[in-house]
Every structure is written in structure tokens, then in C-alpha cells.
Amino acid sequence: MRGYTGTGAALYVSRGVSGGASPAAPQAAWVVAGNGRGEGRAAYEPGRIRQEEPRMATAAPLLSPLSQLSRAVSDWVESVRALTQPAGVRWCEGTDAESGELTSRLIREGELTRLNPEYFPGCHLYRSSPSDVARVEHLTYICTRSREDAGPNNNWMDPGEAHAKMRELFTGCMRGRTLYVIPYCMGPIDSPLSRCGVEITDSAYVALNMMTMTRAGRPALERIARDGKFVRGLHSIGELDPNRRFIMHFPEELAIESFGSGYGGNALLGKKCHALRIASWQARSEGWLAEHMLIVGLESPKGETHYIACAFPSACGKTNLAMLIPPASLPGWKVFTVGDDIAWLHPGPDGRLWAINPEAGYFGVVPGTNPETNRNAYEMIRRDTLFTNVALTADDQPWWEGLPSGVPVTDWQGRRYDPSRGPAAHPNSRFTVSAKRNPSYSPRAEDPRGVPISALVFGGRRREVAPLVYEARDWPHGVLVGASVASETTAAAVGQVGVVRRDPMAMQPFCGYNFADYWRHWLEVGAKLSRRPKIFHVNWFRRNAKGKFLWPGFGENLRVLAWMLDRCSGRVPAAETGIGLLPRPEDLNMQGLSVEAASLRALLAVDPVLWRKEMADIRAYLEKFGSRLPAELLAQIETTEHGLENLAAG
């Protein structure tokens, strides 16, 4: 498909190919001089040649222009066009050819750098503004009519005030720029578990990312036209001024408005903004769960397959676990990736939870990725990948901390690399790549039914307190386990690094409403399930007194997952403790693993003194949510405290 690169009020409407057309059939781009609804004079433009009548002698009948598929979308686009005053409007088909054309344009304009085609074919580098490198949680708002509905876990702003503020920022902000209309579907296009949205943006970089991260283009817009419902996402990079940067969510309106940032989580509105903050609100009203979870399939040597969903805060090993490679000492195991970041969990007619990954690509943290830590991810990003804020070698290969070879000469800001100025690659540098590039990609990721979930796993970075793994006593206790997740902060968000904070269900930055209501919803969903998944907590990051990790992590984590599956199948007992059920050392398969017995005992230890303090901290945290806090969670705390007293008594 040819891309229109002219100026003026050009509107990219559709490509001239319809079902049944030969792959060799000519393709055409139709442009319209006029407004965002496709009103005006249509003309076919191969280069700069204009025909007044849309006629093609050899092509199949034209598809309807995208701008004519949904009146609701077209009317909204027109209202945004009038507000933002762009030079042109482009409706995105979402094809590979369109992505290629946008990429070529950004290379010409200096926004993208083509990487070494011999070693990284089809790969490019994008550098963001140095002040625009992570999520800005302090500038992210939930705008509900009632402040209590947003809860103390969110920044809140009155919807009227927020709309007025954003309207002022958006007025005329796209002058001289192209307005991109990106219809997208979160989840398999034909799945009843999927939901759709439309993002309007003035960033071609954002458009490229959205085409990778979602099912974007015509099929999504056709579904929107059928469903009559979609999330409206309006984004502009503005001037990239941190003092004029806001990410507003209007869950009651299914709307998002983001201004002043081009960074992924702030600008790719289908990701955290829609798939978690808005979707969590939708999920509560519709009876399902939108979660910050990876989905992975595990096939045992006996051929038994289970799917688990795991919630970890950003940069705490989600991608590594989702793409886990079984160690050679555990032959016969197979691991399949369904998703690496977000899961939508729906109660099924069989009483189980069924999950889809709403995303079509990965937006992963690059530093630390190498053949030893995550061979699948390393191989996956060696072609057709968009890198953001990594360093470069002398021969234009991407470089980041954790690679076993290569020497950076240019840092992530495009400066000559100087170690005294910090890391060569930004600690939150990213890759964007199609999920299908993953060697462990599971075709079940496109199954409209989703996959059945056997276990839910919570975890975070804790130097002490939390053991390697423990199992919740039951679903209500599991909700407490998830609600009390704590982790050391990482570089994925602006702020201090290494500070321990509560991150319930790894949703602290992403829950679109009051956590107390969210936990109640979890309890209600569990009550409706007749075949509930077991709930576990893991901590791969426990250290000894000298600061050394006690557990090797990475592929060896499969040993812990195997124990979980044995528990799900009722094959092994567990040791009862005050905090839950722990594995007996003999029930963890340690074959071929050189972990000292003393280290294993420390990994599975529950210190009653530390845990009593932990429970007091959890109680104090939960009580901040006041009268909306479910009483069941406080009852679970009391049960745990009683169990710790018995454990201390011996």
C-alpha cells in the first residue's frame, strides 16, 4: 500500500483491495480533501497524479472508506479535528505496508535510525525526550463524578475540571501535524472476551507501536461498527513539556485523554490506559477481571498442560517468566507464551476462569536481556523490532546493559558514551515487537475462547520476609495475598528506585477505581466460580545477610511452577504455616541444581517476628480504605495472625 506523504488536508481513507482479490492486484490509496468524516472530493493518488473519479480498471471493487464504517467514530474524529486543527487526517488500515511507509518517513525525518541490517534486519531505534522516559503516575488521573469511586489509590480530578484543562491543551495542538486515527481491538478480533477502542494521535511513532501492540485497522473498526461501543483515546505529544503533561481517564465515559508525552505507557493508549485502567472499570460492571498478569502454558513430561496467570510489578521478571526456557536438568517440560503483561479473566460456563491476552505485541524492558537470562526474548528482538532509548555500537547495533559483548559508543540520548554520565541504555529502555516473533509463542493466544487458568500467582521484589513460594488457604485468603503484594520500586516509573511499596495485585498504578471496591469484586468473582484456580505467592529475589540472591531464578523458576501444578492436581501435600501452605523441601525437584540445603531452608523459612510486623503493616495499609474495605480481608488478617502465634509457640 502506498503511503500518502503530501501536505494539506489529506485523509488516508482506505486501500483499494477487497476480499477475493488476487495478492498481485493493484492497490490504491484514496485521499479526501476535506474533513475527518470523509466528506469532500475523493481522488486516487499514485504519487502526485490525481484522478477525479475513483475508477480502477483492473482492481476488485473498493472497500468502503474507513471513515464511513462507523458514524459514531467519524463524528468523534471530526470533533477532534475541529479542536486540534491538524494539517491532515489519516485513517490507519494497520497493514504491514502501511507500517513500512510510516517507518520510511520517520527515517527520512530523522526520528528513527535504521539499525545494522546484517545483524538486526528490520530493526530501528527511537530516542525519546530525556524528560519523557517512563510512566508519570503523579500526573495520571482517574476522573469520576465521585472522588470515593476513584479511591485513595488514585489521583482524582473532577471530570468537568479535567475536560476543561485538557480542552485548553488540545486546542490547536496538531497544527502542521497529521492526525492519525487508529481503530484497534484488544484481544482476538472475533473473541467475545475482546473489547475495542480508537486512538487519535499526532505521533507516527505511537501509530507504529499501536499497529504492533494491538489488532489495529479495518477489522477492528468493522467490529466497532457492529458492537456500537468503543473506548475513545485522544493523545497528543504537545510540546513534550513536563509541566504540560497529563494522562486523564474517564471510566464512566470510556474515554482517555493524554497530553505532553510520547512515552509508551503514557501514549500507547491501548496498553495500560485502556487494557487496565478503563478495562478494570468495565470488568467490574460486566463481571470479569482485567489484570496486570502474564499468561503462560506449561506442559509436563507426562503431557499434562496447565495455564497460569502471574502478576508482578514492572521490571520484576514478567517477561522472563512468560518466555521461560526449561533448564536442561528438567527434560520433557515445554513452556508456551500466551501473554507477557496483561490478562483479561472471564468466568466460563464450566466454572473456571478463562483468560485472553488483549495485546498482540510486547513492549518489554531491554536491559538485562541476553541469551542466558531470556534466550527467547533475545532471539525475538533481533529482527523487526522497534527499540526505544537503547545505546548504539560503532556499527549501529543496539546495545544495553546486560549484553555479554559489544561496546557502546553512543548513549541513549545520542551523545558520545561516557560512563560518568550514567548507563549507556536507559534503565527503562524498551523493545516493541510482534508476539508472533516469540519462539515460544502459543497459537492459543488467538483462541477466541481464551485458555483455562489453573493457578494465579502474585509476587514482587522482597529482600526478606516473603518465602520463595507459598499457597493461599483459599480464595478469600488469596485475595488478601494479592492485596498485600509489596515490591521494591523499579525504573519503569518516575520516582525513587529501591523503595518498598504496596502494589496490590501489581495494579497500584493501573486500577481504574477504588481498591476496596476492586478487592470486593475479586471476592465476588471467586464466589461465582465452582472450579477456582489456586492462588500462590512467589519471591524470586530473597537475599542472604550478605546481599546475595538465594535462588538462581530465570529458567530454574520452573521447579517452583512444577510444585504449584502438583498442588493443583492434588499430587503432593504442603506444610501448613501461619501465612499459608509451603512446599516441603523434598517436594521441590532440585535435581541438577546447586542450591545449598541451608539456602533452601532459608528460602522456605517463615519468621513469625517479621511476619507479625508485616501483617501489622498490611492492616494499616488496608484500613486506609475505610468503610468500603471488605470485612473478609480483615478476617483473613486475623486468621493469619492467629496462625503466626501458633507457629511461634512451636
For 278-294, how does the pLDDT look when each residue is reduced to its tens digit (9 = 90+)?
999 999 999 999 999 99
- Cell 482524582 -> residue: 156
Distances (CA, A) of 108 to 65, 103, 104, 321, 336: 28, 9, 6, 38, 39
143 tagged catalytic: no
Q: Are 478 and 500 in contact (CB under 8 A)?
A: no
Can you tell me the mean pLDDT for 205-220? Answer: 98
The predicted-structure confidence for 589-644, as pLDDT tens digits, reads as follows 999 999 999 999 999 999 999 999 999 999 999 999 999 999 999 999 999 999 99
**Per-residue DSSP letter, 417:** P
- What is residue 36's predicted lDDT score, i.e. its pLDDT? 38
Q: Which domains are seen in the chain, by residue range?
A: 61-286 (3.40.449.10), 290-313+322-335+346-353+446-649 (3.90.228.20), 361-437 (2.170.8.10)
Please identify which of the residues 196, 273, 316, 511 carries the catalytic annotation. 316
Burial class (CB in 10 A: 0-12, 13-18, 19+), 587: middle
CA distance 74 to 64: 13
The angle, 0 to 180 degrees and rounded to 10, between the axes of the packed helices 475-483 and 608-622 is 80
Distances (CA, A) of 397 to 58, 185, 387, 393, 406: 44, 33, 11, 5, 9
Judged by average pLDDT, the poorest of 147-151, 296-300, 434-438, 543-547 is 543-547
Percent of the chain whose pLDDT exceeds 70: 89
Q: Which three cell numbers stand for residue 591?
A: 535435581
Query: How big is the chain by its Cα radius of gyration, in Å?
Result: 25
Using alpha carbons, select from 503, 484, 482, 483 the residue that is nearest to residue 493.
503
Does the global pTM surpass 0.75?
Answer: yes
**Per-residue DSSP letter, 24:** T
- What is residue 649's predicted lDDT score, i.e. its pLDDT? 87
Has residue 23 got a pLDDT over 80? no
CA angle, 470 then 550 then 505, to 5°: 40
Q: Are 505 and 483 in contact (CB under 8 A)?
A: yes
CA distance 188 to 448: 6
- What is residue 64's predicted lDDT score, i.e. its pLDDT? 93
Q: Which residue has the higher pLDDT, 487 or 555?
A: 555
The predicted-structure confidence for 548-582, as pLDDT tens digits, reads as follows 999 999 999 999 999 999 999 999 999 999 999 99
- What is residue 10's predicted lDDT score, i.e. its pLDDT? 30
- What is residue 497's predicted lDDT score, i.e. its pLDDT? 61
pLDDT band at 4 (very low <50, low <70, confident <90, very high): very low
User: Which amino acid is present at 28?
Assistant: A
Burial class (CB in 10 A: 0-12, 13-18, 19+), 155: middle
Has residue 493 got a pLDDT over 70? no
Has residue 29 got a pLDDT over 90? no
Judged by average pLDDT, the poorest of 143-157, 363-377, 410-424 is 363-377
> In sequence order, which residues have a C-beta less than 8 Å from that of residue 527 and are 6 or more positions away?
475
Can you tell me the mean pLDDT for 308-335? Answer: 91
Distances (CA, A) of 576 to 366, 479, 573, 584, 644: 39, 18, 9, 10, 11
| Strand pairing report for 534-538 and 451-459 | parallel
- Cell 530525556 -> residue: 130
CA distance 55 to 71: 25
Can you tell me the mean pLDDT for 209-233? Answer: 98
User: Which amino acid is present at 284?
Assistant: R
Burial class (CB in 10 A: 0-12, 13-18, 19+), 172: exposed
CA distance 407 to 404: 10
- What is residue 61's predicted lDDT score, i.e. its pLDDT? 52
Distances (CA, A) of 372 to 112, 318, 404, 553: 29, 16, 9, 11
Backbone angles phi, psi at 84, to 5 degrees: -90, -20
pLDDT band at 42 (very low <50, low <70, confident <90, very high): very low
Backbone angles phi, psi at 43, to 5 degrees: -150, 140
Has residue 142 got a pLDDT over 50? yes
pLDDT band at 15 (very low <50, low <70, confident <90, very high): very low
Percent of the chain whose pLDDT exceeds 90: 84
- What is residue 494's predicted lDDT score, i.e. its pLDDT? 57
- What is residue 44's predicted lDDT score, i.e. its pLDDT? 28
Length of the chain: 650
Q: Which three cell numbers stand for residue 451?
A: 485458555
Cβ neighbours around 304 below 10 Å, total:
10
pLDDT band at 489 (very low <50, low <70, confident <90, very high): low
Q: Are 307 and 334 in contact (CB under 8 A)?
A: no
Has residue 11 got a pLDDT over 60? no
Distances (CA, A) of 117 to 14, 123, 145, 398: 31, 7, 52, 11
> In sequence order, which residues have a C-beta less than 8 Å from that of residue 462 and are 6 or more positions away?
486, 487, 488, 500, 539, 541, 542
Q: Which residue has the higher pLDDT, 554 or 10?
A: 554
- Cell 476522573 -> residue: 143
Has residue 3 got a pLDDT over 70? no
> Reading across the β-sheet that carries 361-365, which strands appear in turn?
112-114, 124-126, 386-388, 430-434, 361-365
- What is residue 501's predicted lDDT score, i.e. its pLDDT? 86
pLDDT band at 498 (very low <50, low <70, confident <90, very high): low
- What is residue 27's predicted lDDT score, i.e. its pLDDT? 30
Sign of CA dihedral 261, 265, 267, 272: negative
Q: Is 143 helix (H, G, I), strand (E, B) or coil?
A: coil
User: Which amino acid is present at 319?
Assistant: T
Taking all residues of the chain, what is their mean pLDDT, rounded to a whole number? 90
pLDDT band at 488 (very low <50, low <70, confident <90, very high): confident
The predicted-structure confidence for 427-477, as pLDDT tens digits, reads as follows 999 999 999 999 999 999 999 999 999 999 999 889 999 999 999 999 999
Paired strand residues for 575: 582
Has residue 56 got a pLDDT over 50? no
- What is residue 499's predicted lDDT score, i.e. its pLDDT? 74
Has residue 17 got a pLDDT over 90? no
Has residue 507 got a pLDDT over 50? yes
Q: Which three cell numbers stand for residue 113?
A: 535510525
